[in-house]
Chain A
Amino acid sequence: MKAATLRTFQTVHTWTGLLAGFALFVAFYAGALTVFHDAIAAWQNPPWRTARDADVPISTLIERLVAEHPQAKDDFGIILPSDAAHAAYAYWQDDHGTRFATYSEMAKPSDEANRGNLADFVYELHDSLGIPVVGLYLMGIVSVLYGLALISGFLIHLPHLVSDLFAMRVSHNLKRLWQDAHNAIGVLSLPFHIIFAVTGSLLCLFTITLAALNTVAFDGKLYDAFAQAVTTAPSLPVSHTTAPMLPPETLIAQAQQAATTGGVSSFEPDYLHYMHYGDRNAVAEVRGLSQHTLGTYGTVALLAMDGKALSTHVGTRHTINGITNSAMYGLHFGTFGGNFVKWLYFVLGLAGAFLFYSGNLLWIESRRKRRHVDQPTRTRVMARATIGVCIGTCLGISGAFAAALVTSHLGTDSEIAQRVACYGLFLAACMYACVRPIPRATVELLAATSVLTITVVCADLIGNASALLNTASPQSFAVLGVDLTGIVLGLIFALLARATARRARQGDPRSVWALASTS
């Protein structure tokens, strides 16, 4: 490759990385936690704290739904709970839009599912920075920039790929060490990053991309083709003859049986969908999660009257469209290989966050005036922004966990408290990074994040100690796992604070990170 082309790709890599880096840091840090979405949900609502309506059978929930909202009969879904301590809830469309309700909320349904759920809030930060509507599109653009940064970074690195990949030159030249770490993580986790750049772009920009492709190249036929490609249940005409429906528990058992014919060893239903409930031709669709297969999400459609399987889209019985659709979700969320893959995604997610953090540090180091104590304004601004946004994100998310813990003990609404704690701490960290000398702000914010994270999980462990000792279930192990992971993360923040403090005292005095050059 010509030197001029290589330089162009270097510029593309730097600018796309800088433009998208901050949002990607949030997406990766929150995304790493989102891998354990269900465990975080269990942490907030542990199995020994039984939720309201948890003992209501699904059939009773459905009976009340169709009695109070008969218009829902045509099309409604039931979100099945992950354990017996939590309640199933229904969702359907009416004149006000999508409605959600558990059994006791049926008379007054809500327009939002799982209000105040910490795991969903962390997911929201991951996919849209918590900004409604616009945030999703913004993250879609960020994903496209991320893809460009990846390709250009790979092309720059290509000529020296083999020789430099495992070179970790630990010497007094810190910039080279950061560069080596950045390159090694970038190249080794490249397949993982390609998955996110592609699936992230598609998941965030799906609606507008489909509309644009439909107009530009598909003569308006793409919507129909797409609907056909993702349909898993046959559409049967309404017979207008009423018929008794099989109990949902029986339908779920029938679906599990049908799923095993698709070559999967497990099928854990999480969603039940009815069309024309009460009619002789009513169809029930059961969606479930299978492990150790790329097509993790599968569906079985049954005749709701007698449980006859109408179509099975599980494991080897997926269509090409079905397997790629399911694989896209599996690859993005790491649901395809059990706990090993989840931990791998967690570690790679944190490594990804490090990649963007180290990219900014490299930019700062590259523009450092080596012989000047006073560094250029842009270098100092970037250093302040990097610590404010990156450490502020970690601090804010720990704050959301703290708010969830406090509100669950007080029995108050956690929705507002989580947002206020998260965004409040994030903004406070950004402002702190703007006014305090850079090395001091870095050490203090890292220390604050460490203390807050460890305090929250220790408080949770102490509060739940007896319940944890007396309850041995996958859900209680998940709660323990979240607490222990929190302790490890808190210790990592403490180690980073110590290393930064040492660098501030003993490192190059002409760096923005040195106490000698505090500004």
Chain B
Amino acid sequence: MIGRCLAGVLLGFPLAAVMLRLFLRVLPNDGADWVIPALIAFFPLWMAWMIGAFAFRNAVRAWATLGGANAAAFLMLWLTHHAG
């Protein structure tokens, strides 16, 4: 229980942050017109990941899946940054 909770809190935070950054990046002008909606969306997204972490069978799966999702999201952020 504690392991899944920590996975959701600690890995859900950067995952939600990077997802929003990617969302803003695909919009014109680097998403300047959508900064406030993105900030508002941050907490529901983080909460969704925290709750989602409890749906995994055990802590190892939660850490592995959310860790993998973080790695993929950061990689995409890095690629979009260097692509344009």
Q: Report A's interface with B, CB cutoff 8 A.
A: 5, 8-9, 11-12, 144, 147-148, 151-152, 155, 194, 197-199, 201-202, 209-210, 212-213, 216-219, 222, 225-226, 228-230, 319-322, 324-325, 328
Contacts and interface: CB of A to CB of B under 8 A. Distances in A.
A38 B36 CA distance: 28
Contacts of B55: 5, 8
B72 interface: no
A159 B50 CA distance: 21
Most central of A194, A213, A219 by chain B CB within 10 Å: A213
Interface centre among A194, A197, A230, A320 (most CB of B within 10 A): A320
Contact of A148 (B39, B50, B81): B50
Given A144-B47, A216-B14, A320 B34 contact: yes
B71 interface: no
Contact of A201 (B20, B33, B43, B48): B43
Interface string B30-57: 1011111101101110111011001100
B6 interface: no
A4 B46 CA distance: 23
B51 A217 contact: no
A139 to B, nearest CB: 14
Given A147-B44, A217-B17, A202 B51 contact: no
Nearest to B21: A217
A348 to B, nearest CB: 20
Given A212-B17, A216-B17, A328 B40 contact: yes
Given A8-B1, A148-B47, A151-B47, 8 more contacts: A8-B55, A12-B54, A147-B44, A155-B51, A202-B43, A216-B18, A225-B35, A321-B37
Interface in B45-81: 46-48, 50-51, 54-55, 77, 81
A151 B37 contact: no
B18 A217 contact: yes
A320 B33 contact: yes
Interface centre among B39, B42, B55, by most chain A C-beta atoms within 10 angstroms, is B39
Contacts of A213: 17, 20, 39, 42
Most buried by B among A144, A148, A212: A148
A14 to B, nearest CB: 12
Nearest to B37: A324
B21 A226 contact: no
Interface in B1-43: 1, 13-14, 17-18, 20-21, 30, 32-37, 39-40, 42-43
A321 B33 contact: yes
A217 B14 contact: yes
- Interface size class on chain B is 20 to 34
Contacts of A228: 32, 35
A318 to B, nearest CB: 11
Given A5-B55, A148-B47, A202 B39 contact: yes
A230 B36 contact: yes
Nearest to B22: A217
Contact of B37 (A218, A222, A320): A320
Contacts of A152: 51, 54
Contact of B33 (A11, A151, A319): A319
A222 B30 CA distance: 11
Given A148-B47, A151-B47, A216-B18, A9 B54 contact: yes
B15 to A, nearest CB: 10
B43 A198 contact: yes
A218 B36 contact: no
A217 B14 CA distance: 7
A8 B35 contact: no
A324 B43 contact: no
Contacts of A319: 33
A8 B37 CA distance: 32
A374 B50 CA distance: 39
A321 B35 contact: yes
A213 B16 CA distance: 10
A218 B19 CA distance: 11
Contacts of B47: 144, 147-148, 151, 197
Nearest to B20: A217
Contacts of B14: 216-217
11 contacts: A144-B47, A194-B44, A198-B40, A202-B40, A216-B18, A217-B17, A217-B21, A222-B35, A320-B36, A321-B36, A324-B37
A151 B51 contact: yes
B21 A218 contact: yes
Contact of A8 (B13, B39, B42, B54): B54
A106 to B, nearest CB: 36
Contacts of B46: 144
A229 B43 contact: no
A53 B45 CA distance: 49
Nearest to A146: B47
A352 to B, nearest CB: 18
